[in-house]
Amino acid sequence: MADSTSRSQSVDELFAFETLLDTEEKDIRATVRAFGTDRIRPHLADWFEEGTVPARELAKELGALGLLGMHLEGYGCAGTSATAYGLACMELEAMDSGIRSLVSVQGSLAMFAIWKYGSEEQKQQWLPGMAEGNLIGCFGLTEADYGSNPGGMRTRARQDGSDWILDGSKMWITNGPVADVAIVWAQTDDKIRGFVVPTDTPGFTANTVKKKLSLRASITGELVLDGVRLPESAMLPEARGLGGPLGCLNEARFGIVFGAMGAARDCLESAIEYSKTREVFDKPLGGYQLTQAKLANMAVELGKGELLALHLGRLKDQGELRGEQVSVGKLNNVREALKIARECRTILAANGITLEYPVLRHANNLESVLTYEGTSEVHQLVIGQALTGSSAVR
């Protein structure tokens, strides 16, 4: 057993996590962490309390760092590895889930949809400006009554000569009220298709969702499409059916696998530091066996989750990552991150409910992360089907 004066270690040191990273990955991680310390963290409590974030300003700064669509090739994108992108997500969500969501929706949903399924004209028109952060995108798939079952969406696109006319609505759309372009998925006579919709198109409106108790440092909206007329060239030519939007969601879920561990790490680091200085019965709280048991259990789950994320990142870089493996990562890491946030709150006691510390803010955010980009139940069914070969949905 270590003696009572041994130096305290971080979870990264405990698991020797950095020894598994290359120089570029370490540099990206350090750059994003420093940006968070200098630019984001001083304002998070105010943004969360006010229920807003300077999305346009931040998008340009994040774009200048090369973080928007960073794992995509060409069109002004940085072209990093998937693992490097994941590590950036980890650092972004260590700040706040809303900040990571801004980057994920921009790069892994809106930009990825154009990059993967768009025409060359669409890529040239939108991707460079989005990579710079001068243009903001959003992703319109979810509807008020169709979350886990997006195939039932009511939004409809019908042809009128060579044009398309879109009618319907989308709900819980991150970046929606500030977006310059929306990727909107709609039912057509030829399955579900995606459309690139400039938000200044007549008939398109975005209403801000207010009174949220979670993801408050993020802008969420409802998209309303009332006779939105688009040229034929607005359709994403390479996406037909649910495979298109679901492919985008897998990209976003991958970032969440890493990101959730960033939120958990921030909570645990806060709890550890608090336990060293808070005295109870003339002794630091961290010197009690019950507190150390909590910290040890959380550190083990955090370390396991970080190693799982890194493993999935390596698989993705090798082109071998499967959808059910992303579900394993999302299910485990978000579930464990939320448990860690809640447990850390107990260590901070009453101080844990204030915005002076990040734990309850992270816990509130993780309640949303637990159910967006696929609920835990949906991911359990994906994993269950992989294990049994039988779908429990249909």
Question: Which pLDDT tens digit goes with each residue over 20-78?
Answer: 999 999 999 999 999 999 999 999 999 999 999 999 999 999 999 999 999 999 999 99
Which CATH number is 11-132's, of 1.10.540.10, 2.60.40.10, 1.20.1050.10, 3.40.50.2300? 1.10.540.10
In one-letter notation, the amino acid at residue 164 is W
pLDDT of 162-206, one tens digit each?
Answer: 999 999 999 999 999 999 999 999 999 999 999 999 999 999 999
Instruction: Choose among 388, 271, 264: nearest CA to 338.
Output: 264
The residue type of 241 is G
Domain positions in the chain are: 11-132, 137-240, 243-388
Neighbour-count burial of 22, counting CB atoms closer than 10 A to its CB (0-12 exposed, 13-18 middle, 19+ buried): exposed
Residue 317 clears pLDDT 70, i.e. is over it: yes
Q: Each residue of 376-385: pLDDT tens digit?
A: 999 999 999 9
Which residue pairs, CB below 8 angstroms and at least 24 apart, start in 11-17? 11/265, 11/268, 11/299, 11/302, 11/303, 11/306, 12/306, 14/299, 14/303, 15/303, 15/306, 15/307, 17/303, 17/306, 17/307, 17/310
Burial label for 330, CB within 10 Å (0-12, 13-18, 19+), is buried
The reply to whether domains 11-132 and 243-388 share a CATH topology is: no
pLDDT band (50, 70, 90) for residue 4: low
Instruction: Please spell the DSSP secondary structure of 95-131, one letter per residue.
Output: H-HHHHHHHHIIIIIIIHHHHHHS-HHHHHHHHHHHH
pLDDT of residue 149: 81
Q: Which residues contact 42 (CB under 8 A, 6 or more apart)?
A: none
Percent of the chain topping pLDDT 70: 99
Q: What is the pLDDT of residue 151?
A: 82
Structure tokens at 115: 């990059």
- Is 3 a residue whose pLDDT tops 60? no
Q: Is 214 helix (H, G, I), strand (E, B) or coil?
A: coil
Hey, what are 180's tokens? 């310059």
Mean pLDDT confidence for 237-259? 93
Mean pLDDT computed over every residue of the chain: 95
- For the cut 60, the answer to whether the pLDDT of residue 346 exceeds it is yes
Angle between helices 359-369 and 97-104 (to 10 degrees): 40
Mean pLDDT of 273-283: 93
Which pLDDT belongs to residue 381?
94
- Residue pair 345/307 in contact (Cβ under 8 Å)? The answer is no
Q: For position 394, what pLDDT does the model report?
A: 72
**Positions marked active-site:** 373
Banded model confidence at residue 148, pLDDT cuts 50, 70, 90: confident
Average confidence (pLDDT) over 84-88: 97
CATH number of 243-388: 1.20.140.10
Q: Where are the beta strands (DSSP E) in 175-244?
A: 181-188, 191-198, 204-208, 220-230
Average pLDDT over residues 76-94: 97
Residue 5 has a pLDDT of: 54
Angle at 288 between CA 282 and CA 290, to 5 degrees: 140
Provide mean pLDDT across the span 221-237.
Answer: 97
Ramachandran bin of 315, using left for φ above 0, alpha for ψ from -120 to 50, beta for the remaining angles = alpha
- Domain 137-240 matching CATH 2.60.40.1930: the answer reads no
Q: What is the C-alpha to C-alpha distance for residues 370 and 374, in angstroms, rounded to an integer? A: 8
Looking at the chain, the whole-number percentage of residues with pLDDT higher than 90 is 91
User: Among positive and negative, which fits the CA dihedral 363, 339, 268, 375?
Assistant: negative
